[in-house]
Structure formats: structure tokens, C-alpha cells
Structure 1
């Protein structure tokens, strides 16, 4: 019996260590500019399996092998942070009205709705619950968190997740330093650049000089724009490239829908032609399957 307890303890310790090592491994790929694989980002978790921004949606993303989960943050009337994309409760819960007008204990009485607008048994999670849930397992992109980041960082410290967080935004390098500078040793900041903007290339150059980011999120509407190819060469070996495949005008038409018809023309084009090594998707299982067949994901 004693040997059995020792074995069970060893297995639990291994499982915990592996989970912690997994998050650190993903972060290390970003920090070192590893181009040997493609990191997968699940938009609002795996919302085809469970309600968006719910703990089960995050769990299933982790289970399938996603590297980063994107979640959205709103603040309640009494100052608590919850996972929710919209400023209103109407679309994703059984409640109505502004999140900012509701107290947390009242929001906790609501049920989340799934993608078919059907009530589920799931409740709205707090950010603290989500951070503890993903601790050591995966990286997390906190969307809409920049409005309250000083307060949110206290939660990151409390939960021991400061090195698991990615922030993105379209602020200037100067604004990023002013707002997030004291956090940048831990928190990863990725600039968002619209390649259809007149000064897009200048923005990229300034960020590389001033902040030396580990990655850029790039957006462009169609393949008539020559800049995505130019930027690939400019950043190759220096900075990783992130594209969103959520809808067509974010990635020149090479989105999830195109990829369902022909993944080589969708995901493959972004990877092979434009140098993407991070892809955010609404179809994480499908993308991971494609990448694994190509030897581009663990």
C-alpha cells in the first residue's frame, strides 16, 4: 500500500511539473523566436464545445493542445473582473443590461448561453478563477484588459500567472512604454499593425527599435497589398508574425472559411508565403489537425 501511495504521489508531482513546464515551454518559443512550429490561439476558448469565455471552453482548448487562449475582460459594478466579450449581458447570458450595472453576486445567478443562443448550466467565471484554472498549462491573451491593467496585474501577481499573459493593442510604442513599461519584464506585449494603413511599415520599424517585441499581429484586407510579403522578409528571424483567421478581411481572405475548403490556401498560405508562426482561429481542432499532419505542431 505504501508503494502505491508513493507511486500516486510521484504521478501527481509529474503531472503538475509537466503542466508548469508546458506553459514555460510555450513562452520560451515566443521569447526565442522559435519558427519550427506554429502556435495555435483559440478565440474565446473552444466556443463550439462550450459557451465562449467559459471554463469548459478553456479546458477543451487546453485538452486539444492549444498554446494560447484568448479571453475577454469586463468589470462589474462592484469592481470584479469577469470573462465576457460584450459590454452587455444580453447576447451571452440569461441576463440583460450593462455588465457595469450589475454586482458580481447577481451575475453569478445567470447562466451562459452557447453559440446557438441556448441556455446552458455554465456560469460566468471571474478572471481570478480563469487564471487559477490555466496556471502553468497555457498562455492567455487578455483582450479588453488594458483599461484596467494596473488592477489586473495585482490579480496576476496573486495567482502567480504574470509570465503567462499576452497583451496586444494598437497603441504607439511611446504609449505602450508609458502604460505597460513596468510590467514588460513579465507580460508579453504584441503590437497590432494594420498593413493597409499608410504608415504601417514605419510603425513596425519604430516598434522594432523601441520595444523589440517578440511578435506582431498583422492585419490586411486582400492580397493586392504587397506589404505582407515585404514584412515577412523584414521580420524573418527577428520577430514572429501573428495572423487572425477569424474572418476574411483580417488575413487577406485566408481565413477559417477558406481553410475549410482548402487549408493549404488558407492556413498554409499564411504560414508558407507570409511567414506566420502564430494563428488565432475559431476552429482550433481543425487547425491543430492540419498542423500536426504537416509536422508543425506538437
Structure 2
């Protein structure tokens, strides 16, 4: 009897822990706007660093966008550029170094000043994000086969969003074996004359999580985002720079706290931003914010 009670108690506690730690992309409310921090919260800490992710979590950000690269010994690390020159004290490509070698360099902050922080591995980032914040993987299309087993081991497929610029045919040819296990978001460059043909090709063959749409510097390439939302897919637009969001960029919020109203009016429900605090403040006032858990 005592043994049974102990087992029941253990199962109960385990269930509570799992419940507390579980977050789900599938269950994130469609009528709330998802806040994505570009390269994590790089204004508070070096871009693509563990600390930048922690700062995003503290702010209540829903998702961090991170960039992947591969070392000489095939370890996935975070790095946006083709070289480590701009963001670290080192020089050259990530693939020029083993993990042990690349860990000797220090990350620089947004002003180019060296810090005491090192380039993180994907595993180190997942140790921080698991159960706390969603991840979007950028510059990672060629590494999906390497990321997949890492996420499978941790049971994190519902916390990570993959993406890429490929057509459906290219995506299906390369990742047919894993495509139904992951959340995937095609990038559609409306200003480069991509549009409904690419969108419909995906929607007719595959359940995408959403579409990342780049608009150009004005509204001449806009399409009806409401039609995309009706399909169940999220509509993602970057507010980072004028040329990505028809001129409606982050820095406008410094003078106008309602600058993000344009995104709401245009049926956009995922925004990648360089100013997560200001965006969250706006969404809370409009009752359009939801925490991840």
C-alpha cells in the first residue's frame, strides 16, 4: 500500500512539473499577436547570446529568433553572419573552428565592445528556452536534419518553429521524412514578386504554421492577410526596418506609442521586432498580448 501511495505521489508531482514546464506553439491563441525578439533581446545583451534570450524571457517575449551556424566539428552554434568578425573578438567563418576553438572568443555587444560572454551552442540555448519561450530558427534550412534529433530527444517539436525561403517542391524534396513532425513557416518575399502562387502551393499540400511575409518599403505589394488567417496559418511580418514592413518600422514607436496599430488593422498576428518592450506595452493596452504560459 505504501509503495502504491509513493508511486501515485511521484506520478502526481511529475505531472505537475511537466504541466508547469510545457508550452505549445499549437495552442498559442490565434487571436493574440505573437511577439518575436529579433536575434533575441540584442539591445540588452549580445545578439544570439544566452543572456539575450534570458532578457527576452524576463520581458515576456513569446519567441526568440536565432541564427544557426556549424563549426568545423559539426556542432550547431548561434551566429548570424557568415563570419564571426562583427559579433566576436575572433575572425573568420564558424566552420574554420572547432567548438573548443570558437569558445575562446568573446561576444561583442551592440556597440562592438567585447563582453565576457561566449558563442552559445544550440543545446545551451535550449537549456535556457525549454518550457519558457518559443524559438524560431533562421539561417538553418540546411541544418534541419541536425536539429531534428536534438529536438526529438528533448521532446521540443511544439516549442520550435523552422522556416526557409524554399518553394514547397524544394522543401518537400529535402525534408519529406520529417516535415509532419515539425512546425514550418515559409518565407514569402512579396516585394520580389512572390505571392499567392507560393502561398497556395504550400496551403494545398502542407499544414504550415504561418507565413513570414516581407512587403518592401511601401504597400504596393500588400495582399489580403485575412485570407491567410482564415486558413489557420499565422501571418508574420517583421517590424525591424522600413523595407520589410511597408515603412511601418519599430523606431516609429519612439514618437508614437500606437505605431503598431497598422499591424493590427492589417490582420498580422506575429511581429518580429527589435523593440519587444514597446510592442508588448502596446499589445497589453489593446488586450492583444498573451504570455506563452
| TM above 0.5 | yes
Of 142, 146, 169, 2:141 maps to 146
Match of 1:282 among 271, 274, 278: 274
Contact persistence 1:77–1:102 (CA under 8 A): yes
| Deviation at residue 220 of structure 1 after TM alignment | 1.0
SS of 1:142's equivalent in the other structure is strand
> Structure 1's 58 and 201: CA in aligned 2 closer, same or farther, altered over 3 A?
same
Counterparts of 1:16 and 1:175, CA distance in 2: 37
RMSD between aligned residues: 2.0
The SS at the match of 1:234 is helix
How many Å separate the matches in 1 of 2:271 and 2:226?
A: 18
Matches of residues 1-298 of structure 1 in structure 2 within 5 Å? Answer: 17-20=19-22, 23-24=23-24, 26-29=25-28, 34-225=29-220, 227-228=221-222, 230-238=223-231, 239-264=233-258, 266-272=259-265, 274-298=266-290
The CA distance in 1 between the partners of 2:160 and 2:15, in whole Å, is 24
Q: Is the 8 A contact 1:83 1:126 kept in 2?
A: yes
Q: Is this contact kept in 2: 1:128–1:159, CA < 8 A?
A: no
Q: How many residues align?
A: 278
Deviates more, 1:280-289 or 1:174-183: 174-183
Q: 1:152 is paired with a residue of what secondary structure?
A: helix
Give the 3 Å change call, closer, same or farther, for CA 199–158 of structure 1 in structure 2: closer
Q: Residues of 2 paired with 1:236 and 1:151: CA distance?
A: 31
| Unpaired segments ≥5 residues, structure 2 | 1-11
Conserved 8 A contact 2:202-2:208: yes
CA distance in 2, matches of 1:231, 1:295: 23
Q: Aligned-pair distance for 1:207? A: 1.6
| Distance of 2:177 and 2:275 partners within structure 1 | 35
- Cα offset for 1:222? 3.5
Task: Output the CA distance in 2 between the equivalents of 1:117 and 1:11.
Answer: 46
Q: Distance in 2 between matches of 1:187 and 1:155?
A: 12
| Distance change >3 Å, CA 242–CA 199, structure 1 → 2 | closer
Distance 1:63 1:11 in 2: 26
Q: Offset at 1:182?
A: 2.4
Distance of aligned partners of 1:12 and 1:154 in 2 relative to their CA distance in 1, 3 Å threshold: closer
Change (3 A) 1:11 1:80: same
- Change in Cα spacing, 1:15 to 1:42, as seen in structure 2 (3 Å) is farther
Deviations 1:35-86 (A, max 9, x none): 3210000111111111111111001111111111111111111111111111
Q: In the alignment, is the contact (CA less than 8 A) between 1:41 and 1:281 conserved in 2?
A: yes
| Alpha-carbon distance in structure 1 between the residues aligned to 2:200 and 2:213 | 14
In structure 2, C-alpha distance between the alignment counterparts of 1:241 and 1:293, rounded to whole Å: 21
Which structure has more helix as a fraction of its residues? 1
The gaps in structure 1 that reach 5 residues or longer are 1-9
- 2: CA distance, partners of 1:210 / 1:12: 39
Change (3 A) 1:148 1:236: closer
Normalized against structure 2, the TM-score is what? 0.88
